[in-house]
Each structure stands twice: as structure tokens, then as C-alpha cells.
Amino acid sequence: MKPIEQLLDTHEAPEALDGLVSRLGRWSAGRGPLYLLLAARLRRLVDEGALPPGTLLPPDRRLAKALAVGRTTVVAAYDALRQEGRLVRRQGSGTRVAPAALAPEAPRVTETSNPLFLHLLEAPDDVILLSCAAPTQPPPELTEAYRTLVLPVGDLGYHPAGLGALREAVAERYTARGVPTGPGQILVTTGAQQGLSLLTRLFLAPGDGVLVEAPTYPGALDLFREAAAVPLPVAVGPDGLDVAEAVRVMERHRPALAYVVARFQNPTGTVLPPLAGRRLVEAANALGVPLVDDEVLADLGFGVDGRGGGLASYGDVIAVGSLSKVVWGGLRIGWVRGPAPLVARLARLKALHDLGCDVPSQLVAARLLGDFAPVLAARLRTVRAGHDHLRAELARLLPSWSCAPTTGGQTVWVRLPHGDGVSFAQLALRHGVAVLPGSTTDALGGSVRHLRLHFLAPPEVLTEAVRRLAAAWAEYVPGPADGPGALHAIVV
């Protein structure tokens, strides 16, 4: 990820604007005049070093459009900070963070600006989070597993590669899917995000190319930017990734890594057809491109597409999985499946950071996987009902929005009839609901008119969220189109 002072350079203005808007988070959700709320959040970014001295801020009109506020709101916020000595405004040279606002040696900013993650860091408020998708209620089986947990005796508790019982349980699930797997091919991680992080550290160096879908999971884009890798985006259509184009990109650029979400793609919900999946795997294997298949959502199929064996059934694929979407986000258990030598290298890398995952959580996860069918069946009933309810409410209150049904996963991909997702998301926040703009997921600079909404909340909460979105939409007046959007710096 680039330092924000680089993101805000005038040569990268569209990306700069999206990056700043993301860092502002739920700035407008408090009480008081909007200009004071905006000034308070900008003040915090300056004081924390996220906006170092000399950083060029977006022009008044452009920031106002992105935040869906009047220009006077931005002007007043900038002027308030200018009077405090935090900003310098000069005719012809724009608005910059004042040199005296921070120490000269400000640290490079490498933390996330992903709305998915930033919303989780905000203090609890009345905002309904349709941006962060994970089950809101742990299943009773999880509570019971913890209640009856028996800790091991004579065990140091350090297992960098994962507890043996859990590695065996995960391996057995792959074998049952038709993908023979031994425990030595499984690395247990602190959620799938850590698995992706370890793979990024292992495979990517600054300047390396990484093939990604457009749009895709923004948490992965964050990791690739932090590694200073170069995204090589390939469009996703109604049938998932454009495999023919992906093969051409791999042949032309030989990326150091390829990352895809083949089943219930995040955020579009598409499923890659079997023949296309086989062609993708065979091409990657032939070209020597490590292929990562994000399987976090693969179990959440409630339509006609069965679960199947995934891309790993076609050849050498590195699979990343997790229990966070089926069981609960608070159960931070994920895994990487791959060749045993790769898993051994990842385990050594993981040992540098945490010496292994929490043992009680691993014991509970192993027990759940031993009788997983009831847990999964209950979750599928919930997500199917949520999917149908959210789409019905959108059709009732926002009929002009386009929202195709999905056959699995936990989100829908909405297209707005006009405007852009970034500025509408700002207005939606002021109505008490957080949504994920499509442009934050798209390294091609597309998906500007899209939103990703999850359907995991209880029915009454989804109904209230759509009511708030409809109220926001009734007030929404987009500015003139600026052309295709651009990716900002980075869910769930």
C-alpha cells in the first residue's frame, strides 16, 4: 500500500479521493454540524500521522461531491483546521497539511483504509453495517463445544502449523470432497485473512505481478498493495472470471501469484463453471503460476450449484478456507491447503508472528468439523432466508436498483441506476447504514455504480436497513459524471 501522501498526489487524484474518503470512515454519524464532524475526523487523521505534513488534500468541490455534502461544508471544515494551524490553504496551490502539524519524520502509513475493516474499528453506534459480512449469532453447537472443552495435559500449546486433530479434520473434509489430502498439507491460520497474508509474504516482492479478479475481495487487494505488488485485473462476468483473458494475462506477464474466488465470488456471487475452472488450473500449472482459490464462501451454496471439490480437484491449487462465514466471525480459525513443502514453509513464516493459533479455539473447531452437517444446514437456511428477504425489500422500496439473485454466499451485488457508490455510501451513512461501494473492490477502476450488501442480519434489521437506504436514495442528487472510478487504498 502506498503512503497516503503519495495517494493524495495530484497525479493520482481519483485514487487519492477514494483513499481519503475511506479513511474518514463514519465521520458523519455523530451529532452536530457536518462541517465540525468532518473537521474532527480530518484533525484526527492529521494528529495520528495518517496525513503527514505537506499532504495535498482534494479540492473543495471534489471532496464535497464524494462525501455527498455541499461545498460549504468542506470549505468550513478546511477553514476550521486552517485556523488551528493544521492546514495551509493558498490560492493556486491547494490545501495541504501544515508543516508544523506533525514531526518531520512521520512514519510511513501501511495500515488499512478498507471500509470493511475501518467500520469494525469504529465505536458502536446506531449504524447498521451492511458492509461487513459475517454471521451475527454463534450457533449453539459452538457454545456447547466451549462449555465442555477439556484442555490438553503435557502440551506446551505452541503449534505453528496447527493442532494435529484440527489438521486431520480439515484434511478429511477435503478428502470427502474428492480431493485427497493429508494433515501435512494443512496449515491452520488465524482466519483466512492470515492465510492470504502469509501467502502474500511468501510469493510477492515489490513490483511482482498478481492476477486478480475485477471486482474482488478488497481485503486481498489490501495485502497485495502492502507488498507493493502490481495488480493484473481480469474482469468478472455473469459466469465468473473471464478465463480466456486470465490465460492471456498469465502468458503475457507470468505473474508471481494468481488469486481467484471461484465459488460464490466476492462480491458478485458468481460461480465459475467446471470447464472454465479446469482450463484456468491447467493453464496456471503449465505456466508455473501459483494459483490461490479463496474458498471461504464455498460451503454457502443454497441453490442448484452443489459444493463440489473446487478448483483443487483439477490440479495444483492453493486453497484458503475458514470457519468464520459458516460458524462465526469470532472463531478465528482458517487454513491453507497446499503441497506439504509449501505448508512447511508457511508454518515457519507463521512461527515468526504468533507461534500458532489459540489451542482452545482449534479444539472447538475440530469438534465442530467432526459433526459439521447440522451446523452447515442451519447456516444455509439462515442465509437463504436472508437473501430472499433482502431482495424482496429492495424490490419493494428501491425498484429502480438492479439486484440479481445469487445461489450462495452472503452478499448481493447491486447496480445503481445513476450516480456512484462512493458518494451514495456517504449519504447512506448519514441515514444510519454502512454499505460497501463497488469501486473499492475493482482494480480496473470499474464497478462505480455498484454496492455490495450482505443479507446476514435478522429480517427486521434488513427491513430497517433498506428503509434507511430508500430514504437516502430519495435525497441523493449525484454530481456530474467524472468518468470511470479508480481504486482507492482497502472486509470481509
In this structure, what C-alpha cell is assigned to residue 35?
462541517
Res 70 pLDDT > 50: yes
pLDDT of residue 89: 87
More confident residue, 101 or 211: 211
DSSP 3-state of 380: helix
User: Is the Cα dihedral 98, 28, 425, 458 positive or negative?
Assistant: positive
Alpha-carbon dihedral angle through residues 71, 76, 79, 84, given to the nearest 10 degrees: -150
- What mean pLDDT is predicted for residues 215-236? 93
- DSSP, residue by residue, 271-286: ---HHHHHHHHHHHHH
Span 350-374, average pLDDT:
95
pLDDT at 452: 97
Question: Look-up: residue for cell 497516503?
Answer: 4
Tell the burial category of 263 from Cβ atoms under 10 Å away from its Cβ (0-12, 13-18, 19+).
Answer: buried
Residue type, 101: A
Q: At 120, is the pLDDT very low, low, confident or very high (cuts 50, 70, 90)?
A: low
Joined grid coordinates for residue 353: 508472528
* pLDDT at res. 168: 98
* Beta-carbon contacts of residue 103 (< 8 Å; ≥ 6 apart): none
pLDDT for 2 equals 42
Distance between CA atoms of residues 214 and 224, nearest Å: 14
- Residue 346 pLDDT greater than 90, yes or no: yes
Whether residue 412 has pLDDT greater than 90: yes
* DSSP assigned state of 408: B
- Residues 43 and 33: their CA atoms lie apart, in Å, by 15
Percent of the chain's residues with pLDDT above 70: 88
Using alpha carbons only, give the angle 130, 135, 139 rounded to the nearest 5 degrees: 160
Question: Is the full-model pTM beyond 0.85?
Answer: no
Q: How far apart are CA 133 and CA 151, in angstroms?
A: 31
Predicted local distance difference test score (pLDDT) of residue 238: 93
Distance CA 438, CA 448 (A): 6
Position 22 scores a pLDDT of 84
What would the mean pLDDT of 441-469 be, rounded to a whole number?
Answer: 95
**Is the model's pLDDT at 483 over the cut of 50?**
no
- Which of 266, 4, 239 shows the shortest CA–CA distance to 112? 4
Q: Encode pLDDT of 17-57 as tens digits.
A: 878 888 898 888 777 789 888 988 899 888 888 888 989 99
Amino acid 25: pLDDT: 86
Q: How confident is the model at residue 115 (pLDDT cuts 50, 70, 90)?
A: low
Residues facing residue 237 across a β-bridge: 240
> Over 80: is that where the pLDDT of 446 sits?
yes
Q: How many Å from the N-terminal Cα to the C-terminal Cα in the chain?
A: 18
Percent of the chain with pLDDT over 90: 69
pLDDT digits (tens, 9 = 90+) for 248-307: 999 999 999 999 999 999 999 999 999 999 999 999 999 999 999 999 999 999 976 555
pLDDT tens track for 9-23: 433 444 478 788 888
Residue 143, H or E segment:
helix 140-147
d(CA 435, CA 128): 9
pLDDT of residue 13: 44
Higher pLDDT residue, 120 or 141? 141
Which residues make Cβ contacts (< 8 Å) with residue 476, sequence separation at least 6?
68, 419, 423, 424, 427
Name the phi and psi angles at 434, rounded to 5.
-105, 130
Strands 186-189 and 433-434: unpaired
Place of cell 468532518: 38
What is the Cα–Cα distance from 220 to 226, expressed in whole angstroms?
Answer: 10
Query: Backbone phi, then psi, for 470, in 5-degree steps?
Result: -65, -40
What is the predicted pLDDT for the residue at 101? 40
Instruction: Categorize the per-residue pLDDT at 83 as very low, low, confident or very high, splitting at 50, 70 and 90.
Output: confident
Q: Return the SS3 of 9.
A: coil
pLDDT tens readout for residues 136-195? 889 999 999 999 999 998 888 999 999 999 999 999 999 999 999 999 999 999 999 999
The Cα 293–Cα 25 span in angstroms is 30
Mean predicted confidence (pLDDT) in 461-474:
98
Q: What is the dihedral of CA 364, 367, 371, 373, to 10 degrees?
A: 30
More confident position, 285 or 107 = 285
Query: Grid coordinates representing 24?
Result: 474518514
Least confident piece of the model among 80-94, 222-236, 240-254? 80-94
pLDDT at 134: 84
Strands of 56-57's sheet, edge to edge?
A: 56-57, 94-97, 87-90
How high is the mean pLDDT of the chain? 88
